[in-house]
Protein backbone atom coordinates (compact mmCIF):
# COMPACT_ATOMS: atom_id res chain seq x y z
CA UNK A 1 0.00 0.00 0.00
CA UNK A 2 2.83 2.37 0.92
CA UNK A 3 4.57 1.52 -2.37
CA UNK A 4 1.39 2.35 -4.29
CA UNK A 5 1.02 5.72 -2.55
CA UNK A 6 4.70 6.49 -3.12
CA UNK A 7 4.44 5.65 -6.81
CA UNK A 8 1.30 7.80 -7.13
CA UNK A 9 3.06 10.77 -5.50
CA UNK A 10 6.02 10.29 -7.84
CA UNK A 11 3.78 10.17 -10.91
CA UNK A 12 1.95 13.33 -9.81
CA UNK A 13 5.27 15.08 -9.23
CA UNK A 14 6.54 14.02 -12.65
CA UNK A 15 3.29 15.14 -14.30
CA UNK A 16 3.51 18.54 -12.61
CA UNK A 17 7.16 18.89 -13.58
CA UNK A 18 6.33 18.10 -17.20
CA UNK A 19 3.35 20.43 -17.26
CA UNK A 20 5.51 23.34 -16.12
CA UNK A 21 7.22 23.22 -19.52
CA UNK A 22 3.92 24.42 -20.99
CA UNK A 23 3.60 27.39 -18.65
CA UNK A 24 5.16 30.85 -18.70
CA UNK A 25 5.70 32.18 -15.20
CA UNK A 26 6.79 35.52 -13.76
CA UNK A 27 6.91 36.49 -10.11
CA UNK A 28 8.57 39.09 -7.90
CA UNK A 29 7.84 42.18 -5.89
CA UNK A 30 7.52 45.94 -6.38
CA UNK A 31 9.10 48.23 -3.81
CA UNK A 32 7.56 51.62 -3.02
CA UNK A 33 4.57 51.11 -5.35
CA UNK A 34 2.75 54.21 -4.06
CA UNK A 35 -0.83 54.12 -5.33
CA UNK A 36 -0.16 51.19 -7.65
CA UNK A 37 -2.22 48.18 -6.57
CA UNK A 38 -2.43 46.27 -9.85
CA UNK A 39 0.13 45.11 -12.43
CA UNK A 40 -1.06 44.61 -16.02
CA UNK A 41 0.39 42.33 -18.69
CA UNK A 42 0.17 43.16 -22.40
CA UNK A 43 1.02 41.34 -25.62
CA UNK A 44 1.30 44.02 -28.25
CA UNK A 45 -1.63 46.34 -27.64
CA UNK A 46 -3.81 43.58 -26.17
CA UNK A 47 -4.16 43.34 -22.41
CA UNK A 48 -3.73 39.72 -21.39
CA UNK A 49 -4.36 39.94 -17.68
CA UNK A 50 -3.75 41.89 -14.50
CA UNK A 51 -2.82 40.81 -10.97
CA UNK A 52 -3.06 42.48 -7.58
CA UNK A 53 0.00 43.13 -5.45
CA UNK A 54 -0.23 40.78 -2.47
CA UNK A 55 1.39 40.98 0.98
CA UNK A 56 4.88 42.43 0.73
CA UNK A 57 3.90 43.88 -2.67
CA UNK A 58 4.50 40.50 -4.25
CA UNK A 59 2.90 39.29 -7.47
CA UNK A 60 2.73 36.18 -9.65
CA UNK A 61 1.49 35.61 -13.20
CA UNK A 62 1.15 32.29 -15.04
CA UNK A 63 -0.29 31.30 -18.40
CA UNK A 64 -0.27 28.28 -20.68
CA UNK A 65 2.17 28.68 -23.59
CA UNK A 66 4.13 26.44 -25.94
CA UNK A 67 6.60 29.09 -27.18
CA UNK A 68 8.42 32.09 -25.78
CA UNK A 69 6.16 35.14 -25.54
CA UNK A 70 7.14 38.79 -25.72
CA UNK A 71 5.06 40.71 -23.18
CA UNK A 72 5.18 44.02 -21.42
CA UNK A 73 4.54 44.63 -17.74
CA UNK A 74 2.78 47.88 -16.89
CA UNK A 75 3.35 49.24 -13.41
CA UNK A 76 1.70 52.63 -13.07
CA UNK A 77 3.13 54.73 -15.93
CA UNK A 78 6.12 52.44 -16.43
CA UNK A 79 6.31 49.62 -18.96
CA UNK A 80 8.92 46.86 -19.04
CA UNK A 81 9.41 44.41 -21.93
CA UNK A 82 9.96 40.80 -20.87
CA UNK A 83 10.29 37.52 -22.72
CA UNK A 84 8.72 34.59 -20.92
CA UNK A 85 9.79 31.09 -21.96
CA UNK A 86 7.92 27.95 -20.89
CA UNK A 87 9.76 26.19 -18.09
CA UNK A 88 11.89 29.25 -17.22
CA UNK A 89 10.34 31.17 -14.31
CA UNK A 90 11.33 34.84 -14.40
CA UNK A 91 11.88 36.85 -11.23
CA UNK A 92 11.22 40.58 -11.61
CA UNK A 93 11.93 43.22 -8.96
CA UNK A 94 11.49 46.97 -9.37
CA UNK A 95 11.52 50.04 -7.11
CA UNK A 96 9.13 52.78 -8.18
CA UNK A 97 11.43 55.36 -6.55
CA UNK A 98 13.94 54.40 -9.25
CA UNK A 99 11.88 52.61 -11.91
CA UNK A 100 14.65 52.31 -14.50
CA UNK A 101 16.84 50.24 -12.18
CA UNK A 102 14.88 46.98 -12.21
CA UNK A 103 16.27 43.50 -11.53
CA UNK A 104 15.58 40.25 -13.37
CA UNK A 105 16.63 36.62 -12.88
CA UNK A 106 15.97 33.46 -14.85
CA UNK A 107 15.70 34.69 -18.46
CA UNK A 108 18.64 35.35 -20.75
CA UNK A 109 16.33 36.89 -23.36
CA UNK A 110 14.90 39.38 -20.87
CA UNK A 111 18.44 40.15 -19.72
CA UNK A 112 19.24 41.04 -23.34
CA UNK A 113 16.23 43.37 -23.41
CA UNK A 114 17.52 45.10 -20.29
CA UNK A 115 20.89 45.64 -22.01
CA UNK A 116 19.03 47.26 -24.90
CA UNK A 117 16.95 49.55 -22.66
CA UNK A 118 19.55 52.38 -22.40
CA UNK A 119 19.51 52.82 -26.20
CA UNK A 120 15.75 53.10 -26.19
CA UNK A 121 15.73 55.56 -23.28
CA UNK A 122 18.30 57.69 -25.08
CA UNK A 123 16.17 57.71 -28.23
CA UNK A 124 13.09 58.78 -26.26
CA UNK A 125 15.11 61.49 -24.50
CA UNK A 126 16.33 62.85 -27.87
CA UNK A 127 12.78 62.85 -29.27
CA UNK A 128 11.34 64.63 -26.26
CA UNK A 129 14.20 67.16 -26.18
CA UNK A 130 13.88 68.04 -29.86
CA UNK A 131 10.10 68.35 -29.65
CA UNK A 132 10.40 70.60 -26.61
CA UNK A 133 13.09 72.75 -28.26
CA UNK A 134 11.01 73.04 -31.44
CA UNK A 135 7.91 74.10 -29.51
CA UNK A 136 9.91 76.74 -27.65
CA UNK A 137 11.66 78.02 -30.79
CA UNK A 138 8.40 78.46 -32.71
CA UNK A 139 6.63 80.62 -30.15
CA UNK A 140 5.36 83.85 -31.75
CA UNK A 141 6.86 82.92 -35.13
CA UNK A 142 5.19 83.31 -38.52
CA UNK A 143 4.04 80.30 -40.52
CA UNK A 144 7.02 80.69 -42.87
CA UNK A 145 9.50 80.87 -39.97
CA UNK A 146 7.89 77.82 -38.33
CA UNK A 147 8.20 75.82 -41.54
CA UNK A 148 11.87 76.77 -41.85
CA UNK A 149 12.49 75.71 -38.26
CA UNK A 150 10.55 72.51 -38.83
CA UNK A 151 12.92 71.59 -41.65
CA UNK A 152 16.00 72.21 -39.49
CA UNK A 153 14.64 70.17 -36.59
CA UNK A 154 13.47 67.39 -38.91
CA UNK A 155 16.97 67.07 -40.35
CA UNK A 156 18.47 66.90 -36.86
CA UNK A 157 15.83 64.38 -35.80
CA UNK A 158 16.54 62.11 -38.78
CA UNK A 159 20.29 62.38 -38.23
CA UNK A 160 20.09 61.40 -34.58
CA UNK A 161 17.59 58.63 -35.18
CA UNK A 162 19.76 57.17 -37.93
CA UNK A 163 22.33 56.40 -35.20
CA UNK A 164 19.62 54.67 -33.18
CA UNK A 165 18.62 52.67 -36.26
CA UNK A 166 22.18 51.38 -36.61
CA UNK A 167 22.30 50.46 -32.93
CA UNK A 168 19.05 48.53 -33.31
CA UNK A 169 20.21 46.68 -36.44
CA UNK A 170 23.46 45.68 -34.73
CA UNK A 171 21.58 44.44 -31.66
CA UNK A 172 19.13 42.45 -33.80
CA UNK A 173 21.98 40.83 -35.73
CA UNK A 174 23.54 39.76 -32.43
CA UNK A 175 20.20 38.53 -31.07
CA UNK A 176 18.36 36.34 -33.56
CA UNK A 177 15.48 35.92 -31.16
CA UNK A 178 12.56 37.80 -29.62
CA UNK A 179 14.94 40.29 -27.99
CA UNK A 180 16.18 41.28 -31.44
CA UNK A 181 12.60 41.47 -32.69
CA UNK A 182 11.64 43.81 -29.86
CA UNK A 183 14.50 46.16 -30.75
CA UNK A 184 13.39 46.29 -34.40
CA UNK A 185 9.79 46.95 -33.33
CA UNK A 186 10.88 50.22 -31.69
CA UNK A 187 12.09 51.72 -35.00
CA UNK A 188 10.24 54.66 -36.55
CA UNK A 189 8.76 53.65 -39.95
CA UNK A 190 9.38 57.18 -41.29
CA UNK A 191 13.10 56.78 -40.56
CA UNK A 192 13.73 53.05 -40.98
CA UNK A 193 11.12 51.83 -43.45
CA UNK A 194 13.47 49.59 -45.47
CA UNK A 195 15.03 48.07 -42.34
CA UNK A 196 11.62 47.18 -40.89
CA UNK A 197 10.45 45.60 -44.15
CA UNK A 198 13.67 43.61 -44.58
CA UNK A 199 13.46 42.27 -41.03
CA UNK A 200 9.78 41.31 -41.43
CA UNK A 201 10.70 39.30 -44.53
CA UNK A 202 13.52 37.64 -42.58
CA UNK A 203 11.24 36.45 -39.75
CA UNK A 204 8.24 35.59 -41.92
CA UNK A 205 8.15 31.98 -40.65
CA UNK A 206 9.43 32.65 -37.13
CA UNK A 207 7.73 33.45 -33.81
CA UNK A 208 4.40 32.30 -35.22
CA UNK A 209 2.68 31.96 -31.84
CA UNK A 210 3.22 35.54 -30.73
CA UNK A 211 0.49 38.14 -31.19
CA UNK A 212 2.93 41.06 -30.95
CA UNK A 213 5.04 39.62 -33.78
CA UNK A 214 1.97 38.88 -35.89
CA UNK A 215 0.83 42.49 -35.56
CA UNK A 216 4.30 43.66 -36.59
CA UNK A 217 4.31 41.42 -39.68
CA UNK A 218 0.88 42.64 -40.76
CA UNK A 219 1.91 46.29 -40.37
CA UNK A 220 5.14 45.61 -42.29
CA UNK A 221 3.13 44.14 -45.19
CA UNK A 222 1.01 47.29 -45.33
CA UNK A 223 4.15 49.42 -45.08
CA UNK A 224 5.80 47.47 -47.89
CA UNK A 225 2.89 48.08 -50.26
CA UNK A 226 3.53 51.84 -50.02
CA UNK A 227 7.30 51.70 -49.57
CA UNK A 228 9.80 53.64 -51.64
CA UNK A 229 10.41 51.64 -54.82
CA UNK A 230 6.92 50.11 -54.96
CA UNK A 231 4.37 50.96 -57.67
CA UNK A 232 2.09 53.75 -56.50
CA UNK A 233 -1.53 52.54 -56.20
CA UNK A 234 -3.71 53.83 -58.98
CA UNK A 235 -5.75 56.95 -58.31
CA UNK A 236 -8.91 57.57 -60.29
CA UNK A 237 -11.01 60.57 -59.35
CA UNK A 238 -12.74 63.66 -60.71
CA UNK A 239 -11.76 67.25 -61.42
CA UNK A 240 -14.02 70.19 -60.44
CA UNK A 241 -15.62 70.03 -63.91
CA UNK A 242 -16.24 66.26 -63.45
CA UNK A 243 -13.50 65.02 -65.78
CA UNK A 244 -12.05 61.62 -64.85
CA UNK A 245 -8.31 61.67 -64.15
CA UNK A 246 -5.94 58.82 -63.28
CA UNK A 247 -2.49 58.95 -61.71
CA UNK A 248 -1.28 56.71 -64.56
CA UNK A 249 -2.16 59.55 -66.98
CA UNK A 250 0.98 61.32 -65.73
CA UNK A 251 3.50 58.59 -66.63
CA UNK A 252 6.73 60.08 -67.93
CA UNK A 253 6.70 62.85 -65.30
CA UNK A 254 7.75 63.20 -61.71
CA UNK A 255 4.48 63.70 -59.85
CA UNK A 256 3.90 65.10 -56.40
CA UNK A 257 0.67 63.46 -55.24
CA UNK A 258 -0.57 65.91 -52.61
CA UNK A 259 -3.38 64.83 -50.29
CA UNK A 260 -4.91 67.98 -48.80
CA UNK A 261 -8.22 69.73 -48.04
CA UNK A 262 -9.55 73.27 -47.94
CA UNK A 263 -10.18 73.00 -44.17
CA UNK A 264 -6.65 71.74 -43.39
CA UNK A 265 -4.58 74.66 -42.04
CA UNK A 266 -1.14 72.95 -42.41
CA UNK A 267 -2.08 72.04 -45.99
CA UNK A 268 -2.97 75.63 -46.83
CA UNK A 269 0.26 76.83 -45.20
CA UNK A 270 2.28 74.46 -47.38
CA UNK A 271 0.48 75.40 -50.61
CA UNK A 272 2.63 78.50 -51.34
CA UNK A 273 5.73 76.31 -51.20
CA UNK A 274 4.21 73.77 -53.60
CA UNK A 275 3.23 76.63 -55.94
CA UNK A 276 6.83 77.86 -55.84
CA UNK A 277 8.28 74.41 -56.60
CA UNK A 278 5.72 73.76 -59.33
CA UNK A 279 6.72 76.89 -61.23
CA UNK A 280 10.43 76.24 -60.66
CA UNK A 281 10.40 72.68 -61.99
CA UNK A 282 7.33 72.26 -64.23
CA UNK A 283 9.49 72.62 -67.34
CA UNK A 284 11.83 69.88 -66.10
CA UNK A 285 9.33 67.01 -66.05
CA UNK A 286 7.69 67.79 -62.71
CA UNK A 287 4.00 68.24 -61.96
CA UNK A 288 1.53 67.98 -59.10
CA UNK A 289 -1.69 66.03 -58.68
CA UNK A 290 -3.79 67.48 -55.88
CA UNK A 291 -6.13 65.00 -54.19
CA UNK A 292 -8.63 66.69 -51.89
CA UNK A 293 -10.36 65.15 -48.89
CA UNK A 294 -13.08 67.79 -49.05
CA UNK A 295 -16.78 66.96 -49.08
CA UNK A 296 -17.95 70.48 -49.99
CA UNK A 297 -17.30 71.30 -53.67
CA UNK A 298 -17.68 75.05 -53.09
CA UNK A 299 -15.05 75.19 -50.34
CA UNK A 300 -12.72 73.01 -52.41
CA UNK A 301 -12.93 75.15 -55.55
CA UNK A 302 -12.63 78.41 -53.61
CA UNK A 303 -9.43 77.15 -51.96
CA UNK A 304 -7.98 76.13 -55.34
CA UNK A 305 -8.58 79.64 -56.66
CA UNK A 306 -7.45 81.45 -53.50
CA UNK A 307 -4.17 79.48 -53.26
CA UNK A 308 -3.55 79.67 -57.03
CA UNK A 309 -3.20 75.92 -57.47
CA UNK A 310 -2.73 75.64 -61.23
CA UNK A 311 -2.10 71.91 -61.43
CA UNK A 312 -4.68 69.14 -61.81
CA UNK A 313 -6.99 68.78 -58.84
CA UNK A 314 -9.26 65.80 -58.14
CA UNK A 315 -11.66 64.69 -55.43
CA UNK A 316 -14.49 62.21 -54.99
CA UNK A 317 -15.86 64.55 -52.28
CA UNK A 318 -16.06 61.64 -49.84
CA UNK A 319 -13.56 63.16 -47.36
CA UNK A 320 -12.34 60.46 -44.94
CA UNK A 321 -14.75 57.91 -46.44
CA UNK A 322 -12.82 57.94 -49.72
CA UNK A 323 -11.28 54.66 -50.87
CA UNK A 324 -8.04 56.56 -51.41
CA UNK A 325 -7.73 57.06 -47.65
CA UNK A 326 -7.54 53.28 -47.28
CA UNK A 327 -5.41 52.65 -50.38
CA UNK A 328 -2.79 55.17 -49.28
CA UNK A 329 -3.14 54.58 -45.52
CA UNK A 330 -3.77 58.26 -44.88
CA UNK A 331 -4.01 58.99 -41.16
CA UNK A 332 -3.49 62.75 -41.35
CA UNK A 333 -3.02 65.46 -43.93
CA UNK A 334 -1.00 66.90 -45.54
CA UNK A 335 0.34 63.60 -46.83
CA UNK A 336 2.30 63.40 -50.06
CA UNK A 337 4.10 60.97 -52.35
CA UNK A 338 6.55 61.69 -55.14
CA UNK A 339 6.04 59.23 -57.98
CA UNK A 340 8.74 58.73 -60.63
CA UNK A 341 8.14 58.62 -64.41
CA UNK A 342 7.65 54.83 -64.25
CA UNK A 343 4.92 55.15 -61.62
CA UNK A 344 6.99 54.01 -58.64
CA UNK A 345 7.13 55.74 -55.26
CA UNK A 346 10.31 57.79 -55.01
CA UNK A 347 9.82 59.70 -51.74
CA UNK A 348 7.15 60.50 -49.17
CA UNK A 349 5.96 63.46 -47.11
CA UNK A 350 8.50 66.04 -48.23
CA UNK A 351 7.60 69.61 -47.31
CA UNK A 352 9.18 73.04 -47.25
CA UNK A 353 12.94 73.15 -47.79
CA UNK A 354 13.11 69.35 -47.84
CA UNK A 355 10.88 69.20 -50.93
CA UNK A 356 12.88 71.93 -52.66
CA UNK A 357 16.20 70.21 -51.89
CA UNK A 358 14.90 66.87 -53.17
CA UNK A 359 13.62 68.34 -56.43
CA UNK A 360 16.87 70.23 -57.04
CA UNK A 361 18.88 67.06 -56.52
CA UNK A 362 16.56 64.90 -58.62
CA UNK A 363 15.70 67.19 -61.53
CA UNK A 364 18.81 69.31 -62.03
pLDDT (tens digit, 9 = 90+) per residue, 170-184? 999 999 999 999 999
163 neighbors 179 (Cβ within 8 angstroms): no
Taking alpha carbons only, the member of 292, 272, 291 closest to residue 355 is 272
Q: Is the pLDDT of residue 149 over 80?
A: no
The pTM assigned to this predicted structure is 0.78
Which residue segments constitute the domains of the chain, with CATH numbers given? 14-106 (2.60.40.10), 113-225 (no CATH), 236-363 (3.40.30.10)
The rounded distance, in Å, linking the Cα atoms of 334 and 352 is 12
Pairing of strands 69-75, 78-84: antiparallel
Q: Is the pLDDT of residue 129 over 50?
A: yes
Torsion sign, CA atoms 294, 225, 165, 355: negative
Q: Is the pLDDT of residue 332 over 60?
A: yes
The rounded distance, in Å, linking the Cα atoms of 278 and 105 is 60
Q: Which residues contact residue 265 at a Cβ distance below 8 angstroms, ignoring those fewer than 6 apart?
A: none
Q: Is the pLDDT of residue 358 over 90?
A: yes
Q: How many CB atoms lie within 10 A of CB 308?
A: 11
Amino acid sequence: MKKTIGLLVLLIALFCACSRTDVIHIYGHIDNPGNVKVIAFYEGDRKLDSVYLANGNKFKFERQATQSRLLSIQIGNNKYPVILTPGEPLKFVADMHNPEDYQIEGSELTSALKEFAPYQRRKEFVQDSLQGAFAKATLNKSAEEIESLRFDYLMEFKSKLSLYTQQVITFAEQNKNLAGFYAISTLDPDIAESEIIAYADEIEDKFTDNRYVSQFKEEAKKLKRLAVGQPAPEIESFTPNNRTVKLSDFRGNYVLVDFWASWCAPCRQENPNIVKQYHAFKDKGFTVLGVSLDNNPGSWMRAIEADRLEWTQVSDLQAWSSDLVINYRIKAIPTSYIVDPAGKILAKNLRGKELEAFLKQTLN
